[in-house]
């Protein structure tokens, strides 16, 4: 059987000191990069390494349901 493709989410968080943290909620992995492109490339590499390590039998994708909520600022 050939390789399959899995579409994952990349949540980019700009850091105060520069660069980005990027999070994939489906696989629960984080990484970072100096630019958006580098952060995304690093996430792709981290996800591929994670998937190699756990294999298809051990793959657990977290269900992601996003909602926006409003909170009061005192």
Measured on CA atoms in the order 31, 24, 36, 44, is the torsion positive or negative?
Answer: positive
**pLDDT tens per residue across span 41-63:** 999 999 999 999 888 777 888 78
**What CATH fold (topology level) applies to the domain 1-65?**
Double Stranded RNA Binding Domain (3.30.160)
Domain ranges of the chain: 1-65
**pLDDT tens per residue across span 3-53:** 788 899 999 999 999 999 999 999 999 999 999 999 999 999 999 999 998
Cα distances from 60 to residues 17, 18, 51, in angstroms, run 33, 32, 10
């Amino acid at each position: 059987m050939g390789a399959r493709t899995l579409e994952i989410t990349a949540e980019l968080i700009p850091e105060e000191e520069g660069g980005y943290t990027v999070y994939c909620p489906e696989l629960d992995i984080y990484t970072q990069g100096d630019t958006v492109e580098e952060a995304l490339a690093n996430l792709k590499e981290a996800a591929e390494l994670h998937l190699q390590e756990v294999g298809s039998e051990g793959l657990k994708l977290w269900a992601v349901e996003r909602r926006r909520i409003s909170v009061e600022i005192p």
